[in-house]
Amino acid sequence: MIRTSRVLIFGSLLSLLIAVGSFAGGWMASRAAGNVSLGTYLGTMVNRGAEGGTPTDVRDQFTVFWDVWSLVQQEFYHREPLDQQRMVYGAIKGMLQSLNDEYTTFQEPDLAAASRESMQGKFEGIGAYLRVQNGEIAIDRPIKGSPAEKAGLKSGDVIVKVDGVELAPLVKGLSDADASAKAVSKIRGEKGTTVVLTLRRPPETTTFDMSIVRDEVPLISVNAQMLEGGVAYIQITEFKAPTTSELDAALRELLPQQPRSIVLDLRNNSGGFLQSAQEVLGRFYEGTALIEENSNGELKELNTIAAPEDVRAFTIPMVVLQNGGTASAGEIVAGALRDMRPNTVLMGEKSFGKGSVQNIHQLRDGSSARITIAQWFTPNRSEIHKVGITPQYVVPASAEAQYAVPCVVDKRPAEGQSACTDSQLAWGLRYLTQQATPPPVPTPTG
């Protein structure tokens, strides 16, 4: 779950003037002593100017940092110029990693820009989801109606090069998330421009080029349709900026059809904006959305955000589907509906267990720092972080033929089958239309 803010950081002109002003006399004195070169002294004075901006309570600790920085400048063997920007970014990443919180992270400008663009619900590019497999970047699936789909990209295609530049060296050593983001930053571009992908289509080992003209690609986060038995099916894939307006449009189509019940599908919903989660909850009830706890142990109650009258579905029986990919804001919504909304049950598998809140700060060079600021609890104060939410009815995922269901969203029957199959959706529909409950899952014994 994230909040956003913009931070503007200004350098200290005074520190620079002091450093430059003291340079001439100081270096001449050092030169007279015969023990400091011009390059070394210049590096030291630049560092000293930066040190002037260091908070006084940690200035002693930072002395060691600047000592090492100066040693690298003076002694490190290199044939190419040192990439000082990369050194700075590396220091920032190391600082945040020392906090032992996987959600407090730093993104360089290109990765940060891609993340910001994605959360706005649209971007300019080719329109394909990526995955990392065996150290390579592959197409997970093209987005429906996107330039990638129209050009013929297929799931499993391996992207070897982008505009002639090999991807493997660029993503080597990165986490899967950062590797995907790095690839995205190379593939995206302005609408109307062309990108050339060099692809390998397993099991073939040869490569071929594909030219794709970029376009604006909407990232739809809400899918909805009416199913038999008066069941309204609503899927929310992520809580982006446009999610609330998309949900309102769906409800304005569904509610006039007087649904008897609702399936809210939050499976594989990895989270998103806190405000969007509060607004979504406001379509289904009014009251507490979550409890936040800050570093001082102070608790703050956050409420749902009210919805217009014509998109309120407060009393309709509901099944919420969740699984191990339901995380963060997805868990906020699932847990709040369980605690606060009558005639609502959770079904599926235990959720991921991310119960922390991050502020995203956009820095002056376009990079971003994501900082954990609080942990959250469900309205009845159930802890979620590293615990997850266990649904009232545990239903393992299965695609066996006995779990035939309507094909929802863009799903199609598996090869050789005539119907879509989904055990969790099947039991959700049986619960709502037949009052049938799934059998208990046997407890493993050891």
Among all residues, which ones are annotated catalytic? Answer: 328, 354, 358
Give the CA radius of gyration of the chain. 27
HEC assignment per residue over the chain: CEEEEECCCCCCHHHHHHHHHHHHHHHHHHHHHCCCCHHHHHHHHHHHHHHCCCCHHHHHHHHHHHHHHHHHHHHCCCCCCCCHHHHHHHHHHHHHHCCCCCCCEEECHHHHHHHHHHHCCEEEECCEEEEEECCEEEEEEECCCCHHHHHCCCCCCEEEEECCEECHHHHCCCCHHHHHHHHHHHHCCCCCCEEEEEEECCCCCCEEEEEEECEEEECCCEEEEEECCCEEEEEECCECCCHHHHHHHHHHHHHHHCCCEEEEECCCCCCEEHHHHHHHHCCCCCCEEEEEECCCCCEEEEECCCCCHHHCCCCCCEEEEECCCCCCHHHHHHHHHHHHCCCEEEEECCCCCCCEEEEEEECCCCCEEEEEEEEEECCCCCECCCCCCCCCEECCCCCCHHHEECCCCCCCCCCCCCCEECHHHHHHHHHHHHCCCCCCCCCCCC
HEC assignment per residue over 389-439: CCCCEECCCCCCHHHEECCCCCCCCCCCCCCEECHHHHHHHHHHHHCCCCC
- Pairing of the two strands 393-394 and 344-348: parallel
**Which residues sit opposite 263 in a β-bridge?**
233, 319
Q: Are 250 and 234 a contacting pair, CB within 8 Å? A: yes
Sign of CA dihedral 145, 214, 200, 166: negative
